[in-house]
């Protein structure tokens, strides 16, 4: 749709507002929300199986499977987060990346770091 302003024809897409949250950060927040649901489901299943187990630790094959799945998936997320942070830091140091673009990597890192105390409390204690 075209709008007339200041004597020239201008497309409606040219008059975009600055987003409240940068697109990269918003995308990472959506991804973190889905990952939170994934881990919440796995922790719930682990807790249900653990509560029905008579002897702790790892007497059921299902319990052991969830234990290693949760810990392994968190380790995978931690390694990927470290890789993303290293990649963005190098690009930032070389001047190829704006400071605000580092925020998406930081959101993912904070998710990984914030998840660890929850996993430790539920899985190891």
On whether residue 8 sits in a domain, the answer given is no
For residue 90, being part of any structural domain is answered with yes
CATH number of 80's domain: 1.20.120.80
Number of structural domains in the chain: 1
pTM of the model: 0.67
pLDDT value, residue 58: 55
Residue 5 lies inside a defined structural domain of this protein? no
Query: Which regions in the chain score pLDDT beneath 70?
Result: 1-15, 53-60, 62
Question: Which domain does 120 fall in, by range?
Answer: 20-124
Pairwise CA distance, residues 116 & 109, whole Å: 11
Distance CA 98, CA 31 (A): 22
pLDDT at 34: 93
């Amino acid at each position: 749709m075209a709008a007339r302003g200041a004597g020239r024809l201008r497309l409606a897409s040219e008059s975009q507002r600055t987003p409240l949250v940068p697109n990269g950060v918003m995308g990472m927040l959506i991804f973190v929300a889905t990952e939170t649901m994934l881990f919440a489901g796995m922790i719930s299943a682990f807790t249900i199986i653990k509560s029905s187990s008579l002897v702790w630790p790892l007497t059921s094959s299902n319990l052991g499977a969830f234990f290693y799945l949760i810990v392994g998936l968190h380790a995978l997320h931690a390694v990927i987060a470290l890789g993303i942070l290293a990649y963005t830091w190098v690009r930032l140091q070389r001047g190829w990346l704006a400071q605000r673009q580092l925020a998406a990597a930081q959101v993912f890192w904070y998710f990984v770091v914030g998840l660890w105390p929850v996993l430790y409390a539920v899985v190891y204690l």
